[in-house]
Structures are given as C-alpha cells and as structure tokens.
C-alpha cells in the first residue's frame, strides 16, 4: 500500500496528517518526505539519520575540438537547454531535463555527460519507521528527479506514506504517480476549496482513488463539504480548529502521542483508505 498525502495549497496540515498516520499504524511503515524544497516531517518524527547521499543529474558537456556545430543537439532539445550560437555550443544546465537526447544524436560523439548537484537524500529510522527525505540544493529548480530518487529507496514490504509537495505542478505529480491512494488535505475556506478543485483534477487525470481530510473543520463555511458531496469524494476525517492540537504542532510533537484518543481515529482512517484502495 502506497499512500500519498497531498494538498492543493501549503499550510493545510498535510504533514500533520501524514506523520500522525505513520506513527499510529502497528504495521511496518516507511515514510517518504517528498516535499524536497522544504521538508519538515523530520521535525516531528525525529528520526536518527544513518545515511546521506549527494544526488547528481547528468547534464551535457561539449568537446569543442570534436564539435562541428551541426546543431542536431539543439534541434532535439525541447527545453532549449543546449543551443548553437555563432561558433559556440552553449549548454544551459539549469534547463536540462537529463534525457540524454543530445548525447545520442551527436554524430561526432562530441557530447558527454557530467553531473549537476540536485541535492541530498538522507535515510534513517524512528521507532521502527523507516524514514527517507530529500533536500533540494538551494537555487535548484528541478525537484522531480530528486523526488523520484527519494521514492526509489522505498521497498515493497512496508506500508509507504508519502508527504507530497503542495500544489498541483510537476513535483506533486512525481510524488503521486503510481500510488495506490491519494489522501487530500484541505481546509474549509475559499482558498482551500479553489486549490482542492485543482488537486482533484490532477488526481483524477492520473486515475488514482482518493479521499479527503478536512483540517480546521469548524472554521470557514460548508462549501468544501458541498463540493465533496457533489463530486462523490469521501470525507474520511475532520480535524477541528483546536488550541491543544495547535500547541502540540508548534512544539514539534505529534497529536497521537500527546492526545492518545487520536491514534484510534488515524487507525480507522487507514482502514477506510485500504478499503477504498481495494475498490479501484
């Protein structure tokens, strides 16, 4: 079972739901924090890190002595990451998607690949929970390759919970693609509803079963619930706007450990997710 916890916008409580769900389960769990631009699940799970690996993306390197300026590399690149200007071939590594096409089409074999640092992947454990997260290099724009690297460390033997990035762009798709269930976390506000609609559109395009958690459920209005009813999206949990929950979060602690009655609620949440995922 692979569950991706996502949201259309930041600040809805996605990490709160993901971390508390992971700690509540009795089965073997692996937690993947794929919000690589600003990972924060480690602040709550507090894993003991055991491995750290720098991740590199292959990018083109041109041997000017062998290059004949034929321009075939520029023709194949859909992202304008390599161009021929006058008597020079210019690679733009920040635009490169590491497809290797320029290397393949070069008739003179003048292009080889070098590495561009994407960031690091750290791995560790926390009371039986296997923990993996990525940290994108500052200034790096290409987070999907690092997210895919984080996911590559997941084994098939455990329940996998993915803390996805916010939004609905490429990094989110990289964190949701191929999972068994997407748990969408939202809030009952106009902004929450607008971004939820975008997130639902993305999940449905991917054809993944999904359900909803409404955080801070007793503020705002009922439009999120009405939308969920109209679209036949099951609301699997509601978390109230509670001072004790907010205080627990603010000091980096988990609801299910400070308020044990929530543990059973998160276990029931997982049971509902498993049931819905089976029906896909």
Q: Please determine, for residue 89, whether its predicted confidence score (pLDDT) is greater than 60.
A: yes
Dihedrals φ, ψ of 240, to 5°? -75, 165
Question: Nearest Cα to 227, choosing from 238, 216, 212?
Answer: 212
Q: Please determine, for residue 133, whether its predicted confidence score (pLDDT) is greater than 70.
A: yes
Cα-based angle 10, 255, 247 (whole degrees, multiple of 5): 75
Task: Note the pLDDT tens digit of each residue in 192-217.
Answer: 999 999 999 999 999 999 999 999 99
Question: Nearest Cα to 175, choosing from 157, 158, 163, 160?
Answer: 163
State residue 142's pLDDT score. Answer: 87
Q: How far apart are CA 160 and CA 168, in angstroms?
A: 21
Q: Does domain 56-117 have CATH number 3.30.70.20?
A: yes
User: What is the Cα 258 distance to its own chain's centre?
Assistant: 27
Mean local confidence (pLDDT), 20-36: 95
Q: How far apart are CA 274 and CA 277, in angstroms?
A: 5
Q: Please determine, for residue 37, whether its predicted confidence score (pLDDT) is greater than 70.
A: yes
Mean local confidence (pLDDT), 247-274: 94
Task: Note the pLDDT tens digit of each residue in 39-87.
Answer: 999 999 999 999 999 999 999 999 999 999 999 999 999 999 999 999 9
Confidence band of 278 (pLDDT split at 50, 70, 90): confident
Task: Note the pLDDT tens digit of each residue in 225-243.
Answer: 999 999 999 999 999 999 9
Q: Please determine, for residue 23, whether its predicted confidence score (pLDDT) is greater than 70.
A: yes
Burial code (b: 16+ CB inside 10 Å, e: under 16) for 154-187 equals beeebbbbbbbbbbbeebbbbbbeebbbbbbbbb
Q: How far apart are CA 62 and CA 217, in angstroms?
A: 56
State residue 280's pLDDT score. Answer: 54
Select from 3.40.50.300, 3.30.70.260, 3.30.365.10, 3.20.20.10 the CATH code of 2-27+158-278.
3.40.50.300
User: Would you kindly state where each structural domain of the chain is located, as residue ranges?
Assistant: 2-27+158-278, 56-117
Q: What is the pTM of this model?
A: 0.90
Asked, colleague to colleague, whether 2-27+158-278 and 56-117 share their fold, the answer is no
- Please state, rounded to an integer, the average pLDDT across all residues of the chain: 93
């Amino acid at each position: 079972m692979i569950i991706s916890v996502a949201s259309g916008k930041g600040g809805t409580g996605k990490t709160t739901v993901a971390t508390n769900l992971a700690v509540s389960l009795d089965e073997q769990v692996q937690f993947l924090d794929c919000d690589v631009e600003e990972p924060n699940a480690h602040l709550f799970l507090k894993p003991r890190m055991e491995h750290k690996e720098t991740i590199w993306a292959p990018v083109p390197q041109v041997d000017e002595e062998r290059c004949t300026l034929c321009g075939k590399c520029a023709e194949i690149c859909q992202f304008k990451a390599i161009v021929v200007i006058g008597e020079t071939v210019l690679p733009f590594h920040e635009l490169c998607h590491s497809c290797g096409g320029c290397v393949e089409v070069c008739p003179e074999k003048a292009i080889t690949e070098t590495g561009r640092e994407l960031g690091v992947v750290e791995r560790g454990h926390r009371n039986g929970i296997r923990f993996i997260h990525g940290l994108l290099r500052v200034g790096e724009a290409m987070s999907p390759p690092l997210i895919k690297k984080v996911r590559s460390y997941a084994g098939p033997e455990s329940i996998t919970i993915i803390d996805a990035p916010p939004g609905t762009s490429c990094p989110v798709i990289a964190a949701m693609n191929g999972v068994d269930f997407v748990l969408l976390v939202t809030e009952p506000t106009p902004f929450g509803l607008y971004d939820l609609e975008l997130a639902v559109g993305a999940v449905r395009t991917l054809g993944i079963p999904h359900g909803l958690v409404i955080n801070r459920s007793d503020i705002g209005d009922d439009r999120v619930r009405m939308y969920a009813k109209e679209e036949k999206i099951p609301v699997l949990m509601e978390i109230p706007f509670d001072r004790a929950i907010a205080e627990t979060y603010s000091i980096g602690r988990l609801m299910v450990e400070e308020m044990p009655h929530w543990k059973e609620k998160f276990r029931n949440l997982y049971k509902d997710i498993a049931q819905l995922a089976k029906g896909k």
